[in-house]
Amino acid sequence: MSTMSFPLHRNPPFRAEHLGSLKRPQYLLDARYKEGKSAQELNPLEDKAINDIVQAQLDLGFHGISDGEYRRHMFWGTFWPTLEGMEEVQNPPIETFRLYVPDIAAFMETGHKPGESVYCTGKIKHTGESTYIRQVEYLKSILPQEKWGDIKLTMAAPNWYHLRYVDGKAFPKDVYKNDKEYFADVAKAYQAELDILYKAGLRNVQFDDPNLAYFCSEKMLEGWKKDPNNTVTADELLDLYIELYNDCTRMIPADMHVGVHLCRGNFVNSRHFSEGGYDRIATKLFTQLDMHTYYLEYDTPRAGGFEPLAHLPKNKNVILGVVTSKFPELEDKEKMKERIYQAADIMAKGQGESREESLKRLGVSPQCGFASHAEGNLIDIEGMKKKLALVRQIADGVWPGEP
């Protein structure tokens, strides 16, 4: 059972949230991909784009501020390739992947294959240099000091380069004897990174983890059962991932907020990767995983109903992703407010509290980022701003006067 606790009104999280990745302006995409500008040449363009999107977030009334992930190519950023013992490989061999893992399966179905991946080649160790730190420091340079604690940094999931690989391919057997040894060093690397970021003033971390939602996918679970290479069950692996997360975060100071975002993927043409409600993993996810906040996809029936939220303990928050980031059509504000009240009622019944008490643990957001990959979803920047404005309006209607 989780031992984490925090005041119900602590900030972050906020009533109106977004998931960190935002649509990039076309001039930045052109400079990076069509014109092939160097990192040095990109810097002033990235700075301009970040300045503009930060001001847009402030103008729209958001308090958890990100840089839109504009310095990244993909949502997971640059953490893994810079660890000692990890190596980025272009055009990785397809035989190293579990082809039934939803994102890999989606790549293959659409005629793609992973363009790059990161493999363990030796003992994993943090180098002492953070590749995320520049993103935090730049946001600090353009925000007043009283807002530094609101800055949100998204981080890659610690299991990201494990689930996708065939059992035995995530690390060399002469480096690590088993998953637990491998995870122990991964956790130490995350502990070091979180310590660096905390000392730089960061107080708001969101782990992006589609992998956890994959354990809700019947297709993946069927593939898992049929795979003769697997030495653990899917349930046993989920337990290991929860233990890994808890090791990653167990040394954070009391005033550092950590959350995890579960979704079913963003890919080309706003495609999702997996389907399945949270019912199958809810008890473990909410009671055993040491997170303050869960950012959950809830924009379509593929994520199931709110019933699993009955298991969410009284000391934890959930941000309901009821507004889609995939398409520009705007949701009905009143219907979205009603969905929030429905979720609150389920939480209240499950934990023996009132609707008002449950509402204190809730917020609203888009179901995922607008640009998990560089080009982003089938929505333009103005459409994205309208979606964010809607999120703010929904929050103001449910929690008037709250950030």
Whole-structure pTM value: 0.94
> Is residue 372 situated within a structural domain?
yes
> Is residue 14 situated within a structural domain?
no
Write out the two tokens for 115. Answer: 């363009």
What is d(CA 403, CA 139) in angstroms, rounded to the nearest whole number? 19
| pLDDT at site 10 | 46
- Which residues on adjacent β-strands are paired with residue 319? 295, 363
| pLDDT at site 273 | 52
Number of domains in the chain: 1
Tokens 């997971």 -> residue: 76
> Is residue 3 situated within a structural domain?
no
What is d(CA 118, CA 110) in angstroms, rounded to the nearest whole number? 22
> Is residue 18 situated within a structural domain?
no
Report strand pairing: 84-90 vs 116-125: antiparallel
What is d(CA 277, CA 284) in angstroms, rounded to the nearest whole number? 14
| Torsion of the alpha carbons at 247, 251, 256 and 260, rounded to the nearest 10 | 0
| pLDDT at site 32 | 95
Q: Which residues of the chain, if any, have pLDDT below 70?
A: 1-10, 265-275
> Is residue 41 situated within a structural domain?
yes
> Is residue 374 situated within a structural domain?
yes
> Is residue 11 situated within a structural domain?
no
Angle at 333 between CA 375 and CA 17, to 5 degrees: 50
> Is residue 151 situated within a structural domain?
yes
Write out the two tokens for 297. Answer: 């996809």
- Residue 216 is part of which domain span? 26-398
| pLDDT at site 348 | 98
What is d(CA 163, CA 40) in angstroms, rounded to the nearest whole number? 35
Residue 158 is part of a domain; what is its CATH number? 3.20.20.210
CA 83, chain centre distance (Å):
20
What is d(CA 28, CA 36) in angstroms, rounded to the nearest whole number? 11
